[in-house]
Amino acid sequence: MTTPPDPHTPLAPANTAATASPTAGPAAGPAPSPAAIGRRLSVVADQAPNSAAPAGCNSSSTSTDVLVEASRPRKAAAAKAGADIRGEVLLTLAQLRLATPRQLKALLLPRQQGTDHVRRALRNLLAESPALVGRTSRAQQSYWYCTTAGLAEAAVSGELAPTTGRTTGKRVAASKTGLREPGLALVDTVIAFHQAEMADHADWRVEVPHPTPAGNLVPDAVALLADGSSAFVEIDRTMSYARLLAKLERYDAYRGAPASGRGNAARAPRSHWQETYAGPSLERPFPPLLFVFAPAPRRSAPDTREATFHDRARPNWRITVATTTLHQLTHDGADRPVWRVVGHGEDRRALTALPKPR
């Protein structure tokens, strides 16, 4: 059974899929035009046709023919699924910087048993000239990211939120653990929110600068939640408690940062966060700050780090700060009561039940 294409994946023109060759990629050239994005993101995936059984086989040849014939629909389905999700794979890597095939499958093909379709799409993107994705392998695990050409291809699709300074995930993927493991933990967090229908995987922005009087604040990610509000997300594995507490001060400073630009004389001045997250009627409060404590070698267990953080953090009634561990988030679900709020005891709450900042 074939997997239907996602509506966000650019569709190819009427003749393109039928005439595309699995072995011939487009020639290298300048940045692609918007007209080219649908063609390149929807090229039919590579197929491995079965060869006919040779004549004069023994009595087992009939059984072999049946197996070969039975495998053809599955291989054809895999090829089509790889083509259908090709664009979504590229956009997801451009958005989240890096991911494993297992993570991409969880986001794009959650009902599939294996990662064959995703790997076929990744190989297809890797075979382009220039390659649209790259790969780093360590300990029998592959980590995939967008190349510069892939970012350009994804940008002209119009499906990505406009973000200045978007970079490839090559440095993150190649890092031994310092950058790669937090990046993977962030993707696992995105998966947990996506599976709980709390935030679609396409509605996340990674490392977007926010101005403060003391310099830019760069959250690990900002999630647009299903109810239209937003949340700041920070992944912690090895950061010192002093740096974690300093981040709280930076978020408090951001709350009072003025909006960029000249403003509008016809209305009262607004802060940057109001312009960005409060909505046209300023009905939404300051986004909650969500810390996710992930495991790391030679560090205290995440639940221990979470408890120590709560002991040291001072309640800030202008900002709602809630914490959880990556295990609890992925095991129980982002929509479950897994969030512990700083200054509100040890009880855990659902995301929708977090207190509003004053």
The string of pLDDT tens digits covering residues 121-157 is 999 999 999 999 999 888 788 999 999 899 888 888 8
80: left (phi over 0), alpha (psi -120 to 50) or beta: alpha
Q: What is the pLDDT of residue 160?
A: 77
- What is the Cα–Cα distance from 1 to 78, expressed in whole angstroms? 9
User: Tokens representing 52?
Assistant: 């006919």
Q: Is 313:245 a contact under the CB 8 Å cutoff? A: yes
| Tens digits of residue pLDDT in 328-357 | 999 999 999 999 999 999 999 999 999 999
Average pLDDT on 206-220 reads: 90
**Angle formed by the axes of helices 34-41 and 86-96, nearest 10°:** 110
Q: What is the pLDDT of residue 1?
A: 47
Q: What is the pLDDT of residue 351?
A: 96
Scan for tokens 């647009």, then name that residue: 224
Give the residue with greater pLDDT, 235 vs 26.
235
- What is the Cα–Cα distance from 198 to 178, expressed in whole angstroms? 28
pTM for the predicted model, two decimal places: 0.75
Of residues 291, 211, 277, 276, the one with CA closest to residue 250: 211
Q: What is the pLDDT of residue 94?
A: 92
Phi, psi of 5, rounded to the nearest 5 degrees: -65, 145
Q: Strand order in 98-99's β-sheet?
A: 98-99, 141-146, 133-138
Chain Cα centroid distance, residue 89:
10
- Looking at 44-58, 66-80, 97-111, which range is the least confident one? 44-58
Say whether pLDDT at 86 is over 70: yes
- Looking at 30-39, 61-70, 124-133, which range is the least confident one? 61-70
DSSP track, 283-307: -S-PPPEEEEE---TTS--HHHHHH
Q: What is the pLDDT of residue 43?
A: 38
Containing 37, the helix (H) or strand (E) segment is: helix 34-41
* CA torsion through residues 146, 152, 154, 155, sign: positive
> Pairing between strand 289-293 and 321-325?
parallel
For the chain, give the mean pLDDT.
Answer: 78
Kindly indicate the confidence band of residue 22, based on its pLDDT and cuts at 50, 70 and 90. very low
Q: Is 120:110 a contact under the CB 8 Å cutoff? A: no
Running DSSP on this structure, what letter comes out for residue 131? -
Give the residue with greater pLDDT, 22 vs 164.
164
